[in-house]
Structure 1
Amino acid sequence: GLKQQVGSAEIVAQVALARQQRTLRRVVFMGMGEPAHNLENVMEAIELLGIVGDIGHRNLVFSTVGDPRVFERLPQGPVKPALALSLHTTRAELRTRLLPRAPRIAPRDLVEAGERYARAIAYPIQYQWTLLEGINDSDEELDGIVALLSGKYAVMNLIPFNAGEGMPFRRPSSERARELARHLHRRGILTKLRQSAGQDVDGGCGQLRARGTGGRGFL
């Protein structure tokens, strides 16, 4: 369950600390929480980082499952970040099962909302697709992606699933993942096959846990 929200100053402090360790050019708001659930603090941090912190607005990325408040709030600020949308399937009923707490927005409506924002800021939407073997890696899903994203200002990020304790899913083979990316490219969809880091220490995307609570809760 939710333990607490971080304030805008805490978010900026994390970036400042990271800058002491290495050159930092990009900040992505995503992970074990939904940024829209802490919207005002996140937006205040984005504005501070974009204006005072001198990070390029397109290098500030807001990632969401599609909370409608995001599409209202992001265009209003002086800093308009890039947007990443968690899609994961073109089928509404499957998306509801994969993201049970996400707002009930049909994939087509989500893409249309993303397209309006992309055109407004003149920068493509990044669509996130976690590859789950036997779940969303079928040829039918590929056809659905092409139908949804053809002609859209979009980049499809294919992200092989990172295994976690107690999770029933598996990633497809590396060859199948590459085949999916090649297929989408051939059909005119700009696609990137992402490589995961940190899996050996359970630090990959989706693996970070609140170990202080024995894995029972998440921050």
Structure 2
Amino acid sequence: MTHTSTTDAQAPLRERREPGEVFGSGFSLFADMLLVGLLTSLAALPVLTLPAAFRAASATLRGTAVTGVQISARAYAGHLRAHLTARGLAAGLLPPLLLAVLLIDAALVRSALPGSALMAPALAVLALSLTVVGLRATALASPHRLSPREALVRSAADPRGTLLLAGAVVLAALLAWAMPLLVPLLPGPLAFAATVVDLRAATGDERP
């Protein structure tokens, strides 16, 4: 009887959220991010589906935050099908362009061309900025289309969230460089970071 009472008393505590906490304490963060990361990596293999894959990841995480429903491959696949539109596939041309910018940046770093000392950091900042805006675009709640313009506006209006997301991108890049085996898992934390930043910006929560 005592055991049952203790369990009943602890149940509300497990469901209670800390101030500013987007996901409840029952959210298996590590396992869910691993699953979302792997599913996103698989869905993004054709390259053109990369934006749709990240949008599906964000929609899946957002659904978990709102309803508390456990993340599943089936739920992710449903969101992915919804975002595989012509506009979404056209947006898939942007990641190869971003990769080209990074390759040019790497070539400038190794070269002794005049102005390379200025161009290399500028291209690095440009690539980071485009990545952050792209992630914020995929994390928007709009079910119909990507909106880079709205993502840019939100990035400018929420500098703290933008800096946090930029830090997540830099950390992911460092992990990919140091431990390439982690690359298939990195989309999960990136989608999670973008979703949390967007949710907190939408609720007006500016606490660190």
User: How would you bin the TM-score normalised by the shorter chain?
Assistant: under 0.3
TM-score by length of 2: 0.22
TM-score by length of 1: 0.21
* Structure with a larger share of its residues in helix: 2
Instruction: Specify the structure having the higher radius of gyration (Cα).
Output: 2
Structure number with the bigger relative contact order (C-alpha 8 A, sep ≥ 6) is 2
* Structure with a larger share of its residues in strand: 1
